[in-house]
């Protein structure tokens, strides 16, 4: 199986790299992967992940809820109970930041968020790499969802008022190409909303190599507010706001405790998640997952 080796930082091109920790793929393959950190910009990434052509099997699991729509087990059950509430919260954020009614959701999964926006009067389009999830969103909701190949083949049109990526950026192999195409697809006064796990969060620091937010090898990039700022500046964006995804700290902590096979995983997961949530209330840059609201730099 062909893997991808980075001899320099994918973000700033520095060759000053250092291995940090060895992380296990707890959910599917049980393989281990090195995390490497750039000493220049402090960006952390997964070393030797499978190539795009070979990554498919690492997503084939009922545990991967955004693609399978499974409600099996405690973690998935909690995910689905929280999702309906969070869909409305996300929709409220989008409506408050949008100057129009057109939205593109990249990594649209099974389409629940896009359908929520459609029901709120938005012209909705999605980009989704997984064939099964793409067809599900079309069949269940009648959504306009295209493959990444089709997305990149579309000419630059600046047609969207808002573009969203909910826990998607960390999965994208061609990071720079996506950032460029996103910029070309967004209106000049449009808003880009990106939510990613935060390696600098309380739960990220507490669980270290067992932190579910690492999710190797599916997560290629492990962002912090500092590295997101570097990425934004590189591609001509300004970060206008940092917000939190309030339930992520609990979900990720519960999943991390499951990986650790703790006897009291539910109790401890809620406790650690609660502490992480409290940290985020006082400082959104310490949230388990951070929502970045960006606009094109002047």
What's the pLDDT score for residue 101? Answer: 96
Residues 6+ apart with CB under 8 A from 249: 201, 202, 203, 273, 274, 276, 277, 280, 287, 288, 289
Query: Furthest-apart CA pair in the chain: how many Å?
Result: 54
pLDDT at 71: 54
Q: Distance (Å, rounded) from C-alpha 62 to C-alpha 152?
A: 29
pLDDT for position 73 = 56
| CA dist., res. 144 & res. 120, Å (int) | 16
pLDDT value at 222 more than 50: yes
User: Which of 296, 292, 283 is CA-nearest to residue 242?
Assistant: 292
Given a cut of 90, whether residue 156 has pLDDT beyond it is no
Is residue 44 over pLDDT 90?
Answer: yes
- At 159-196, the pLDDT tens digits run 999 999 999 999 999 999 999 999 999 999 999 999 99
Give the pLDDT score at 157: 86
Ramachandran class of 224: left when φ > 0, alpha when ψ lies in -120 to 50, beta otherwise = beta
**17-24 sheet: strands from edge to edge:** 17-24, 32-38, 44-46, 221-222
197-212 mean pLDDT: 97
| pLDDT value for 78 | 63
State how far Cα 155 lies from the chain centre.
Answer: 25
pLDDT of 51: 95
Whether residue 222 contacts residue 269, with contact meaning beta carbons closer than 8 Å, is answered with no
pLDDT tens for 71-127 read 555 555 666 667 788 899 999 999 999 999 999 999 999 999 999 999 999 999 999
Average pLDDT over residues 240-268: 92
pTM of the shown model = 0.92
Per residue in 130-152, pLDDT tens?
999 999 999 999 999 999 999 99
**Strands 186-197 vs 289-296: parallel, antiparallel or unpaired:** antiparallel
**Whole-number average pLDDT of the chain:** 92
The confidence score (pLDDT) of residue 2 equals 80
Q: Is the pLDDT of residue 69 over 70?
A: no
pLDDT at residue 68 in the model: 47
Give the dihedral of Cα atoms 173, 170, 45, 28; nearest 10 deg. -90
pLDDT at 67: 45
What value does the mean pLDDT take over residues 44-59?
94
Is pLDDT above 90 for 47? yes
Check residue 34 and report its DSSP letter: E
Helix, strand, coil proportions of the chain in percent (round to 5)? 40, 25, 35
Domains and their CATH numbers in the chain: 70-296 (3.40.50.150)
């Amino acid at each position: 199986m062909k893997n991808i080796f980075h001899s320099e930082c994918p973000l700033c091109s520095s060759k000053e790299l250092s291995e940090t920790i060895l992380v296990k793929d707890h959910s599917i393959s049980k393989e281990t992967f090195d995390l490497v950190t750039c000493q220049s910009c402090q960006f952390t990434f997964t070393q030797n992940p499978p190539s795009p052509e070979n990554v498919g099997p690492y997503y084939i699991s009922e545990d991967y809820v955004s693609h399978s729509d499974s409600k099996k087990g405690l973690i998935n059950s909690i995910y689905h109970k929280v999702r309906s509430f969070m869909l409305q919260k996300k929709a409220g954020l989008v409506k408050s930041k949008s100057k129009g009614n057109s939205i593109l959701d990249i990594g649209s999964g099974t389409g629940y968020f896009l359908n929520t926006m459609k029901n709120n009067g938005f012209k909705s389009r999605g980009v989704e790499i997984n064939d099964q999830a793409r067809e599900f969103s079309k069949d269940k909701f009648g959504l306009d969802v295209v493959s990444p190949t089709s997305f990149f083949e579309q000419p630059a049109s600046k047609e969207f008022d808002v573009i969203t990526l909910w826990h998607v950026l960390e999965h994208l192999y061609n990071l720079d190409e996506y950032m460029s195409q996103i910029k070309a697809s967004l209106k000049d006064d449009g808003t880009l909303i990106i939510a990613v796990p935060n390696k600098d969060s309380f739960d990220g620091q507490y669980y270290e190599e067992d932190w579910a937010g690492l999710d190797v090898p599916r997560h290629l990039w492990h962002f912090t507010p500092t590295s997101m700022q570097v990425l934004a500046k590189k591609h001509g964006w300004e970060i206008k706001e940092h917000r939190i995804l309030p339930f992520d700290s609990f979900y990720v902590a519960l999943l991390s405790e499951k990986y650790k096979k703790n006897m009291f995983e539910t109790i401890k997961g809620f406790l650690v998640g609660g502490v992480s949530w409290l940290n985020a209330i006082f400082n959104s840059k310490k949230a388990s997952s951070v929502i970045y609201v960006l606009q094109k730099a002047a």
